[in-house]
Amino acid sequence: MKRMICGILVLAFSCQAAVRAEESRTISVSGHGEASAKPDMASFNVAVVTQASTAGEAMAANSSAATKVLEALKALGIAESDIRTNRLDVNPNYVNARNNEAPRITGYTATNQVFVEVRKLEDLGRVLDAVVEAGGNQLSGISFDIRDKVSLLDRARAQAVRDARRRAEIIADVAGIRVGRVMSIQESGSGGGPPVPMARAFAAVPIASGEQSLSVGVNVTYEIAE
């Protein structure tokens, strides 16, 4: 009985060792891919800031100016769904206190800021000109984007897989072995890189939109061919 048990244990150990040996006949590498494209849309914040002696006067003046900005955007074909108010407030203005006096309110500032998406990049210059002429006196947060990021990421993925195969072939050639079939493949992450500067001009407003880069990493395990 003891001999039988020992024989089973030896056989089990031998099988496990064979499996581990088989599993170890692999090459694991990482691959990196990156694809760049020119942006085809943009977004920015435009604000109307007004001051008056009372909060009501400041808000009234602000509302009038902000309405003109919104009308200018709509006249240029910007859809209502691409215009979003992200700040609306009225704050008192204080004069610095002296000789331990309490701060004194000297007036009020009203701010109405909207976020705008421009889906035709060639219209950006005209849109910026129009909102400033309509009364927008603060511009900020101009950024660029790509509508079809899926195609860009797919290009980066394909490049990452080819890069992984290239690295595996180099390792295999030096080691005197051959790369076999893919055992496993996993995407390790994707993300956007910083814009690559590229000067462009939109109407009368010169703007550098640059290029947007998206990157993808993959981890691939290949079988070592017999």
Is residue 57 classed as helix, strand or coil in its secondary structure?
A: helix
DSSP 71-105: HHHHHTT--GGGEEEEEEEEEEEEEPP-TTPPPEE
Q: 44 — phi, psi (to 5°)? A: -160, 165
Lowest mean pLDDT among 15-29, 76-90, 107-121: 15-29
Over pLDDT 70: what percentage of the chain? 80
Is residue 198 classed as helix, strand or coil in its secondary structure?
A: coil
Q: How confident is the model at residue 207 (pLDDT cuts 50, 70, 90)?
A: low
* pLDDT over threshold 80, residue 90: yes
Closest CA to 37 of 210, 217, 216, 189: 210
Tens digit of each residue's pLDDT (9 = 90 or more) over 4-50: 444 444 344 343 433 344 456 999 999 999 999 989 899 999 999 99
Q: What domains can you pick out in the chain, each with its CATH number?
A: 26-38+148-225 (3.30.110.170), 41-145 (3.30.70.2970)
Give the global pTM: 0.66
